[in-house]
Amino acid sequence: MRRLTAREVQDHLQNADPKPLILDVREPWEYAVCHMDGAKLLPMRQIPAALGELDPEQEMVVVCHHGIRSFSVCRFLEQAGFGRVINLEGGVAAWARDVDPGMPTY
């Protein structure tokens, strides 16, 4: 698992080809408040049942509110054979603070 700051993720998203999947593991109400552009919502509790829907070869940036749930999901994904996972350290709270100050927060 790679652990990147919000600014490092921003740079990576701008330069990566192909673009990684942004996997938002928060709850739907949290996603409705704010989310990163292009993020796919898949709440943490649904990850085990949805493994077949995810490509273990695709790079993905895993996102939550503060980076704790996403860290756990990254570890779970690694154990399931996903080798290209990135945890957004500090979550969307850090993204709003460091990259997109206009993003609503909660």
Task: Report, at the CATH architecture level, how domain 2-98 is classified.
Answer: 3-Layer(aba) Sandwich (3.40)
List, in sequence order, every beta strand (DSSP E) within 5-65: 21-24, 40-41, 60-63
> H or E element: which one contains 29?
helix 28-33
pLDDT tens for the chain, 106 residues long, are 999 999 999 999 999 999 999 999 999 999 999 999 999 999 999 999 999 999 999 999 999 999 999 999 999 999 999 999 999 999 999 999 999 999 999 9
Residue 100: partners with Cβ closer than 8 Å, 6 or more residues away: none
- Distances in Å between the alpha carbon of 90 and those of 13, 18, 85? 17, 24, 16
Q: Which of 6, 34, 64, 86 is catalytic?
A: 64
In the annotation, is 34 catalytic? no
Q: Model's pTM, two decimal places?
A: 0.96
Best CA proximity match to 91, nearest among 40, 51, 36: 36
